[in-house]
């Protein structure tokens, strides 16, 4: 009986020792390994991360460097390129260079880097992490509100895109119709122009014929009159007749030439010119005004068309003017539509993000003033630096980088003894969109920060919430008094 009891106690002792050894061995083997990387080291044969070699699980953290990149020694200082991961429960985890492991200095707030017992490191993570946790809580609150704003802006952007695409489609249809209308109006305008030219030629010919007929009649009358007088006088009287005196007085009237043939033709041509001009301007010549202007008495209550007015000519003028006006109006309208089509086509060709979340940025610019400079960033267009009236182009829009986390502007103004200017605008989550900072870390290469709710991503919010939750849960598992 006693032998059995002793055997049982001995077996329990051996089992406990084995468990302690196994736990210690497990602790040592995974020391310095980040929680997300633990599965990488669970197989019996493990590859060095750079693929150069392999090692067994027993060689993990055996204080002998098997991998040049330090994969096999995450918890020791055996490898010069190794990294030690501080879990720092209650605070933020950090990675240390392997040379800091067991060097007598407490680098991890949980003291895990000094596990050899030479130095006793108190766990200060919970107290030290209070400021960090508070900042993380505030960041989470900003992200929550920012995510809500972002969702609204994404929805509005999608609606705006649909609206702009519908407008573009209608404009293209209108453009097609207007092109046909302008073509027809142009043809009609040219036809009217040809008809006007033809009518002018005919009218000129008619006027010249009338002038020639009038001249012939006058000459015939003068000849007949002269013959009659000569016959009556028969050359016996030296005194001029009354008719001859009136003729002489008429020919010698002041301001009129004595040669009737040339003067009459000149006056007729001048009158013809004024008449032709009046038909297109709508104005009457001096002769026409005298001819058709009614007296005051005749004008009142008299709706008859004055003598000398041609209804057909007026209708033709009205039609010509209407066609010209319609052509000019339609041409202007077509030009405006084509300009809007080009503008919308240029806008819609850009990459506005996975959910078109940056669509409203197209027509916006953001500024910030630093010292004597004003920096302006216009997404999808350009970025500039202003000093008074001097403007320096920092770059033209190129593209998004880092999963829509950075805007790149390049090919700006040249730099003396340097590259063409460029700027990277890094986006951060914020409740309003604003340019917050601009720096020039290297010559003519600028880096700007912009806060915006567009960058308050739901996935990032979930990541922050998990981080805060793990800080509390791990500390709770450690049995902290505050919890």
Q: How sure is the predictor about 236, in pLDDT bands with cuts at 50, 70 and 90?
A: very low
Query: In terms of domains, do 118 and 189 share one?
Result: no
Q: What is the mean predicted confidence (pLDDT) over 340-360?
A: 95
Residue-wise DSSP of 207-249:
HHHHHHHHHHHHHHHHHHHHHHHHHHHTT---SPPHHHHHHHH
**Residue 143 in domain:** no
**Residue 338 in domain:** no
Query: In terms of domains, do 107 and 161 share one?
Result: no
Q: Which long-range contacts (CB under 8 A, 24 or more apart) does 64-71 make?
A: 70/98, 71/46, 71/47
Q: How sure is the predictor about 9, in pLDDT bands with cuts at 50, 70 and 90?
A: very low
Give me the half-sphere count of Cα atoms (radius 13 Å) on the Cβ side of residue 257. Answer: 9
**Residue 14 in domain:** no
Query: In terms of domains, do 402 and 458 share one?
Result: yes
Q: How far apart are CA 18 and CA 178, in angstroms?
A: 92
Name the packing angle between helices 311-348 and 260-281 (round to 10°).
50
Measure the CA angle with vertex 383, ends 379 and 384; round to 5°: 155
What three-state secondary structure class fits 424? Answer: strand
Q: What is the mean predicted confidence (pLDDT) over 241-265?
A: 46
Query: In terms of domains, do 318 and 211 share one?
Result: yes
Query: In terms of domains, do 193 and 111 share one?
Result: no
Q: What is the mean predicted confidence (pLDDT) over 333-341?
A: 95
**Residue 437 in domain:** yes
**Residue 70 in domain:** yes
Q: How sure is the predictor about 5, in pLDDT bands with cuts at 50, 70 and 90?
A: very low
3-state helix, strand, coil in the chain (%, to 5): 55, 15, 30
Query: In terms of domains, do 434 and 321 share one?
Result: no
Q: What is the structure's pLDDT at 291?
A: 41
As a whole-number percent, the residues of the chain with pLDDT over 70 amount to 72
Q: How far apart are CA 282 and CA 276, in angstroms?
A: 10
**Residue 327 in domain:** yes
Q: How far apart are CA 356 and CA 446, in angstroms?
A: 26
Query: In terms of domains, do 279 and 369 share one?
Result: no
Asked whether residue 216 carries a pLDDT value surpassing 90, the answer given is no
Sheet of strand 373-378, all strands in order from the earlier edge strand to the far edge: 366-370, 373-378, 382-387, 390-401, 406-411, 422-429, 445-452, 434-442
Whose CA is closest to 410, among 393, 427, 432? Answer: 393
Residue numbers of the domain that contains 409: 359-469
**Residue 240 in domain:** no
Query: In terms of domains, do 322 and 203 share one?
Result: yes
Query: In terms of domains, do 202 and 65 share one?
Result: no
Asked whether residue 117 carries a pLDDT value surpassing 90, the answer given is no
Asked whether residue 304 carries a pLDDT value surpassing 70, the answer given is no
Q: What is the mean predicted confidence (pLDDT) over 357-370?
A: 94
Q: How far apart are CA 184 and CA 180, in angstroms?
A: 6
Q: How far apart are CA 478 and CA 143, in angstroms?
A: 29
Q: What is the structure's pLDDT at 256?
A: 41
Q: How far apart are CA 290 and CA 210, in angstroms?
A: 20
Query: In terms of domains, do 414 and 268 share one?
Result: no
Asked whether residue 230 carries a pLDDT value surpassing 70, the answer given is no
Number of structural domains, the chain? 3
Q: What is the mean predicted confidence (pLDDT) over 195-210?
A: 88
**Residue 8 in domain:** no
138's tokens? 């505030």
Query: In terms of domains, do 158 and 281 share one?
Result: yes
Here the CATH number for the domain that contains residue 427 is 2.70.130.10
Task: Name the DSSP class of 96.
Answer: E
Poorest-pLDDT segment among 213-227, 240-254, 465-479: 240-254
């Amino acid at each position: 009986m006693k032998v059995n009891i002793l055997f049982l106690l001995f077996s329990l002792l051996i089992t406990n020792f084995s468990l302690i050894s196994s736990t210690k061995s497990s602790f040592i083997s995974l020391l310095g390994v980040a929680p997300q990387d633990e599965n990488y080291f669970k197989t019996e044969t493990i590859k060095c991360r750079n693929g150069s070699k392999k090692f067994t699980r027993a060689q993990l953290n055996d204080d002998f460097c098997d991998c040049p990149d330090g994969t096999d020694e995450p918890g020791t200082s055996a490898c010069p390129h190794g990294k030690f991961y501080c879990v720092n429960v209650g605070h933020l985890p950090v990675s240390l260079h392997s040379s800091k492991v067991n060097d007598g200095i407490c680098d991890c707030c949980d003291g895990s880097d000094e596990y050899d017992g030479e130095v006793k490191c108190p766990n200060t993570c919970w107290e030290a992490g209070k400021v960090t946790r508070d900042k993380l809580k505030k960041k989470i609150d900003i992200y929550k509100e920012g995510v809500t704003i972002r969702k609204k802006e994404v929805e509005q952007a999608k609606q705006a895109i649909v609206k702009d695409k519908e407008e573009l489609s209608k404009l293209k249809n209108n453009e097609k119709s207007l092109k046909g209308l302008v073509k027809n109006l142009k043809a009609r305008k040219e036809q009217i122009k040809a008809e006007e030219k033809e009518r002018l030629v005919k009218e000129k010919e008619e006027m010249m014929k009338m002038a020639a007929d009038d001249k012939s009649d006058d000459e015939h009358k003068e000849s007949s009159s002269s013959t009659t007088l000569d016959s009556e006088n028969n050359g016996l009287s030296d005194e001029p007749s009354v008719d001859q005196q009136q003729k002489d007085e008429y020919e010698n009237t002041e301001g009129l030439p004595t040669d009737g043939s040339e003067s009459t033709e000149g006056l007729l041509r001048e009158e013809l010119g004024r008449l032709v001009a009046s038909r297109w301007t709508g104005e009457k010549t001096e002769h026409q005004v005298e001819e058709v202007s009614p007296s005051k008495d005749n004008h009142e209550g008299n709706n008859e068309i004055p003598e000398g007015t041609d209804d057909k000519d007026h209708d033709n003028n009205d039609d010509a003017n209407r066609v010209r006006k319609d052509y000019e109006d339609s041409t202007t309208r077509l030009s405006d539509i084509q300009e809007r089509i080009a503008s919308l086509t240029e806008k819609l060709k850009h990459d506005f993000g996975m959910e078109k979340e940056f669509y409203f940025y197209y027509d916006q610019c953001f500024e910030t003033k630093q010292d004597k400079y004003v920096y302006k960033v216009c997404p999808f267009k350009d970025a500039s630096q202003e000093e008074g009236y001097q403007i320096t182009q920092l770059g033209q829009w190129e593209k998004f980088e880092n999963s829509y986390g950075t805007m790149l502007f390049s090919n700006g103004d040249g730099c003396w003894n340097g590259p063409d200017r460029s700027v990277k605008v890094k986006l951060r989550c914020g409740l309003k969109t604003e340019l917050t900072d601009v720096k020039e870390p290297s010559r003519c290469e600028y880096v700007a920060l912009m806060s915006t709710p567009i960058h308050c991503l739901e996935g990032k919010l979930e990541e922050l919430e998990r981080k805060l939750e793990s800080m509390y849960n791990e500390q709770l598992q450690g049995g902290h008094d505050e919890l």
